[in-house]
Each structure stands twice: as C-alpha cells, then as structure tokens.
Chains A and B, each alone.
Chain A
Amino acid sequence: MKHHIILRIVTKLLIPLILLFGLYVQFHGDFSAGGGFQAGVIFAAGFILYNIVFGLDNGRSILSSNTAKSLMAIGVILYIVVGFLGILLGGNFLEYNDLSSTPIRGQLLGVFLVELGVGLTVSNVMVLVFYSFNDISMEKQ
C-alpha cells in the first residue's frame, strides 16, 4: 500500500469522521435514529477500513484478537450487570427507574449503559469476523 498515496490520505481523512459518526449514533440513539447495534457496526467499519488500507499487522497492534474477544465478552457482561442492578434495587430485570435520582434520569442512564454494552460487543464481533476470515485465507496460503 506504499504507492497508493491518494488512498492513504483519503482514508486518514475519513477514519476520524467515521468513528465520530459512530460515536454520534451511539450516544444520540435515545433522541434520534441509532443505538448500540448500528453504532457498533459503523465504528467497526472504520477500524476495518484502517486494517484494509494499512495492513493487518498495524491493525492487530492496536486491537489484538484476544483483546477483541475480551471486549466482546465485557459488553455482554455490562448489559447483564445493568439488568441485575434493577433486581438489586428492588425492581425487575432491566428496570432502570431506580438507577438514578429520578426515574427519567434512571432510564437515561440505564439505556446509555446497556447500549454501550451492545455497541462494545457488536463492534468487536465485527472486527473478529474480519480477523477470522483473514486467518482462514492465511491458512490456505
């Protein structure tokens, strides 16, 4: 990829925008279209673009597949722990009303945390799918 100077420059320009848009979709999900799932995919798309243009070795030095696996698990754990908090605070599973001072704030906080978990898991799953396809084609060569 050393020769494709236009590709590299454009990618460098694009990646921050993609990641920013991913974060926007993640945190603005409660007011407009969006949420953890979409944001996770967009965020992962930015990272996968980086991998394609600058090579997988560079990509893996940022996020190894083991780290991605752990983050994937942590996302699910975050979701379920927030759900359990609802039970511990005297409500039902995934009940956010008591998470903060008022029910509305509680709902906001609860949805925020749960969607964060979803985003974390989805983006890492996407990256892992990309990595494992690469592993398969490496094995064949």
Chain B
Amino acid sequence: MNQLPVLVLVLPLLVAPILLLFRDNRYAYNMSLGVSFLNLLLIISLFQHVYENGNMLYELGSWEAPIGIRLNADLLSCYFLLLMNFMSLICLIAGHKNVKSQIEDDNIYLFYIAWLLCNVGFSGIILTNDIFNLFVFLEISSLASYFLISQGNYKASSLAAIQYLFIGSIGAVFILFAIGILYANTGTLNMSDLSNKIINNNISLSMSLSIAMFLIGVGIKTALFPLHGWLVRTYTYAPSIIVSYFSGTSTKIGVYILLRIFLDVFHSINPLEHYELAQLILFLSLIGVLLSTLYAVKQIEVKKMLAYSSVAQLSYIILAIALLTPEGLTASLVHVFNHSIIKTGLFLVVTILFINNKDVSIDDFSGLGSKYPLLMSAFLLLLLGLIGLPLTSGFISKWYLVSAILQSDYWYISVVVLITSFMTLFYVWLLIEKIYFSVSVNHDSSIPTISQSLCIYLLAAITIYLGIETSLTFGISDQISTNFFYNTNK
C-alpha cells in the first residue's frame, strides 16, 4: 500500500523502454492500454487511501527529505492525478483507429511510447515534492509532447511542434531560473522545506524576481491570456487525438503548478496578494475570456473554435483562482475537472467522425443528427455542458464560479461571465443547427466503432452525473481549498 505513489510513476516508465525493445505496433498499443488501466486502478486506491488517512509521503531510496527526494500525494495531487490518467486512458481507447490511419506505420510504437512518457511527466509533476524534480518532469512531458504534436498529417505540423518547442522551452527556462533563485536564497529544493523557509519579512529583490519568473513560465504553460498563441496553433495542427488528450491534461498541468507554487510553496508570503498580482491576472483573464469567446464565435473550423473556447474556459479557471478566496479556489478546481471531461469529449467526437479530414468545418456536421442519433445526442449533451445548462456539470462549475465572484470584492465581473456564457451559446448553436436542422447530409464522415462510441457515451454520462451528484468534484475541491486557506497541517 505505501508503495503506491512510486508505482504510479514507475510502471509506465518501465513499460516505455520495454516497448522500444519490441518495436511492435500492436503490442505497443495493448501494453500501453494495459498499463494505463492498471495505473488508473492504482490511482483510485491511492485516492481512497489519501482521502481516508490524509496525505501520503514517500521517500525515494529511504533518504529523508530535505536531503532526499520525496513524493507527496495529497488530495490536490490525487484529484489532478485521477483526472490526467482517466483522460489518458479514454483517449487511448477512443483514438486507436485514428492513430492507425493518421500516424505513419513506422512511428506508431514510438507514438505510444511518447504518450506513456508524457503521462509519466504529468504524473511526476503532480506527485513530486521536490521543486527541481517538478522541472525535470515538466521537461519529460514537454519533450514527449513535441514529438506527439509533430506527428500530425499537416504540412505545418512540424512547424507547429517547433514553435511549441521554442515557446515551451522559454517557459521552462523561466521556471528553471526561478527555481535556481529560490535555491540560492533558501538552500533547499524540497517544497515543504521551502515553504517553511520563505518567511514574510525577508522577501529580497531576487525572491520577487523568482516569483515573476514563475508567473511567466506557468502563464505560458496554462495559456494565460497574452501568452495563449501557441495553444491555438498547436491544437489546429497536432494529430486530432493528441488534441483531445491535451485539451484535458496539458494546460491543466499549468493550473496545478500555479496552485502548487503560489498557494503552497509561497504560502507564507502569498505573492498573488502581496504584489497585487491577483488584480493583474484577473484583468488579463477577463480580457482573455472576452476576446477568445469572440474569436470562437467567428471561427468556421471546428477545432479552432474549440481551441479558442478552451482558452476562454482556462481564463475562467485562472480568474477564479485570482479571486483569492476559498470559494474561488473551489470553483476553479471544480471547473478544471468538468471542463476537461466536456472538452475532451467534444474533441473526441470531432476526432472520431472525421478521421481523414484535415479541416473540419461546421458544415461537415450537417445532418449528422439523423445519421448518428445516439452519438449526436451525447455530443449535444457535451455542448450543453459547455454552455452550462442546468443538469450538466458545466452548470455546476458556472454556478460556483458566479457565486464565488459575487461573494468577492469584484462582484461586477460576474456580468462578464454571464455575457460570455451567453456568447458561448452563439457558437454552440451554429453547430446544433447544422446537426439537427440541416437539409443536406454529410456522407463523408467515418463510422465510429463501438468502443469509440462507448467512450463518448461514458464522457457524456459523466457530464450528467457530475451535474447532479457533486461529491467528487465539489466535495473534494471544497476540502482542498479549506486545507489551503484555513489549515496549516501540510
């Protein structure tokens, strides 16, 4: 039982090089599916353990922290860990057909290896209690994702991967420098130790620099408003299955790092409040929400539309964090989970139905409502979730978001949230109109397999379930934010 945190990390890390030895595409797929499934089970039992007994520390090689490297599984990490691995497993199952038809035959096993390594990187970022290890795992996941993105069948895919590489590396270098400054100032890399050693009254200029660098680095990773350009480009040119996978994981990792660094490591000086960064972030994410929703309305290409919608939803998440109230943090955590499920589901539908299309325009959806009634009703549910209609999980997150805003000092922001939610209705309606009220029927779409459709149904069902029963999302998020704001036993 107490080996769980390390097993979650090491099992996929062991399987990845073994797959490289065999170089067999079928075997690679089956093994990565198997290990992802096993990992999900391990994570669920880890979650249960942490939920019942409080957070779980694991010392690598039994060297005690702060000298040794420690893994720390608390509720926040389990929450994100569960989300990441669930998304990975769903996308692996649903994307098999796409990978076979879109990726070159020689590269398929490498594709799955990179997928596993990417997932290891995400899990590592979430589990580690060592700030330098966070950087290392960030690089592991980034390097793997550069490869994954470059495998798209567009001419511009390699270019998009290179651009992402440059931007990602710039972000990573900022984070590395920030870590270096922290290390020079405190002499430790262990997060718990760091948060004890950073005390309110000795904030030097270099420490402020470190905070600023963290903010920029994390801002790039989360696609915070002015730094969001890479996201749309990447989402347009990457293989569509990778877009589905990343929409639920990659940017959410940025949110996790933001929370971990600013609310946990810098806990005692609370830089978001101390430097009035919160207002800056709030302002930027407001512009982000407005502009990207406007852009989303304007798009004809569905993947681009969903990508801009992702930027808008991420801005909601960041906005809620920047309120700096426990309610805001709860709302953002709830929205992280709900948005991942909804957006991955939407991207998966696009992925599954249009395997061979490079650009999927809104017109491609015409008449599909009568062609695939069940699949399209699941798609409709996910779209309604995106708007935030009652009985879907989107409503729950919007509800908590708006009520958190109303309880804070910035009550007038809620107007913007309501307006943008209404604007979401515009572009969602364009799709719905094509699907159900179009005379012509698009016959080019590919036929989904049973396992693919089941994945979509599952995600749609979860959207409904989380819209009614919120103990998983709201219950856990509430507990996490209570721990952060009122409790000091970390």
Q: Which residues of A contact B (CB under 8 A)?
A: 69-70, 72-74, 76-77, 80-81, 83-84, 86-87, 91-97
B72 to chain A, nearest CB (A): 14
Chain B residues, CB < 8 A from A77: 14, 17-18, 21
Asked, given contacts A80-B10, A87-B3, whether A93 binds B61 with beta carbons under 8 Å apart, the answer is yes
A92 and B13 within 8 A (CB): no
Bound-state Cα–Cα, A69 to B60, Å: 28
Bound-state Cα–Cα, A41 to B14, Å: 23
Can you list 29 A-B contacts (CB < 8 A)?
A: A69-B20, A70-B20, A72-B17, A72-B20, A73-B17, A73-B21, A74-B21, A77-B17, A77-B21, A80-B13, A80-B14, A80-B17, A81-B14, A84-B10, A86-B61, A91-B61, A91-B62, A92-B6, A92-B58, A92-B60, A92-B62, A93-B3, A93-B6, A93-B10, A93-B60, A93-B61, A94-B60, A96-B61, A97-B62
A76 and B17 within 8 A (CB): yes
Chain B residues, CB < 8 A from A83: 10
In the complex, whether B139 has a CB less than 8 A from a CB of chain A is no
In the complex, whether B359 has a CB less than 8 A from a CB of chain A is no
Contact of B61 among A74, A80, A81, A92 (CB under 8 A): A92
Contact of A73 among B3, B20, B59 (CB under 8 A): B20
Bound-state Cα–Cα, A95 to B59, Å: 10
Bound-state Cα–Cα, A84 to B11, Å: 10
**Total residues of chain B contacting the partner, CB 8 A:** 15
**B 250-279 to A, binary, CB cutoff 8 A, 1 in contact else 0:** 000000000000000000000000000000
Asked, given contacts A77-B14, A83-B10, whether A70 binds B21 with beta carbons under 8 Å apart, the answer is yes
Chain A residues, CB < 8 A from B59: 92
Bound-state Cα–Cα, A94 to B62, Å: 8
Interface of A is mostly: helix
**Across the two chains, which residue of chain A brings its CB closest to B13?**
A80
Bound-state Cα–Cα, A60 to B16, Å: 25
Chain A residues, CB < 8 A from B61: 86, 91-96
Bound-state Cα–Cα, A93 to B60, Å: 6
Bound-state Cα–Cα, A83 to B21, Å: 20
**Across the two chains, which residue of chain B brings its CB closest to A83?**
B10
Asked, given contacts A80-B10, A93-B6, whether A74 binds B58 with beta carbons under 8 Å apart, the answer is no
A54 to chain B, nearest CB (A): 28
Chain B residues, CB < 8 A from A70: 20-21
**Across the two chains, which residue of chain B brings its CB closest to A86?**
B61
Bound-state Cα–Cα, A93 to B11, Å: 12
Asked, given contacts A80-B13, A80-B14, whether A95 binds B62 with beta carbons under 8 Å apart, the answer is yes
Bound-state Cα–Cα, A93 to B20, Å: 23
Which residues in chain B, 3-53, are within 8 Å of chain A measured between CB atoms?
A: 3, 6, 10, 13-14, 16-18, 20-21
Chain A residues, CB < 8 A from B6: 87, 92-93
Bound-state Cα–Cα, A81 to B10, Å: 10
**B 370-413 to A, binary, CB cutoff 8 A, 1 in contact else 0:** 00000000000000000000000000000000000000000000
